[in-house]
Chain A
Amino acid sequence: ETGVTQTPRHLVMGMTNKKSLKCEQHLGHNAMYWYKQSAKKPLELMFVYSLEERVENNSVPSRFSPECPNSSHLFLHLHTLQPEDSALYLCASSQTSGGSYEQYFGPGTRLTVT
């Protein structure tokens, strides 16, 4: 248990569906991250929120839309996805002050787009 939870753990959706992934951290951290992990590829950073402001957006298609309503919650809204978007989506959090670099990961959401 890392203090970062994600729901749902598994999601199957059609290409025309709209769904949202949720992440919650109970660590008092001030930064949250969305990563995508595809088979046989390194983790890809999608979005970074620091103090509830998006500070990084790594050329992610607009069918992925993040939302960070407060420092403990992070959402990833999904809309008209493609089969190649099937992957494990991992949320992480960290405390960016005090020189600490460690990120704490959630268990991930396994997304299958049909």
Chain B
Amino acid sequence: KNEVEQSPQNLTAQEGEFITINCSYSVGISALHWLQQHPGGGIVSLFMLSSGKKKHGRLIATINIQEKHSSLHITASHPRDSAVYICAVHNTDKLIFGTGTRLQVFP
């Protein structure tokens, strides 16, 4: 069992839909990252959070430290949001990654 689990593994949506991707972890963490990986392979950091909630444009990330759970929400989804979203937790000095959620948004 992975120390970082994401659900769902694959997600399809129609443009405009509200999207939620979940991440659960089983280790102690100092921070949690949400990353976006486009088909070309490059990874971009979306959020780093250790408590509460952060918002950037149409993206919202929340974390519940007690429940060891984080969610990434996308409001008014758009085809350009299609990517793999990866949750990673910072444990001691290393990042532990989930397997990612592949999102496809259709017009």
Contact = CB atoms under 8 A, between A and B. Distances in A.
A41 B99 contact: yes
A43 B3 CA distance: 13
Contacts of A92: 43
B78 interface: no
Interface of B: 2, 4, 30-31, 33, 35, 40-45, 48, 86, 88, 90, 93-100
Contacts of A101: 30-31, 33, 48, 90, 95
Contacts of B4: 42
A43 B42 contact: no
The DSSP consensus for interface residues of chain B is strand
Contacts, number: 54
Given A42-B2, A101-B30, A107 B40 contact: yes
A83 to B, nearest CB: 19
Interface residues of A, number: 22
The DSSP consensus for interface residues of chain A is loop
Contact of B42 (A41, A48, A96, A105): A105
A41 B93 CA distance: 21
Instruction: Report the 7 A-B pairs with minimum CB-CB distance, sorted nearest first.
Output: A108-B41, A107-B42, A105-B43, A42-B97, A43-B97, A101-B90, A101-B31
A2 B98 CA distance: 21
Interface of A: 2, 37, 40-43, 45, 48, 56, 88, 90, 92, 96, 101-108, 110
Contacts of B31: 101
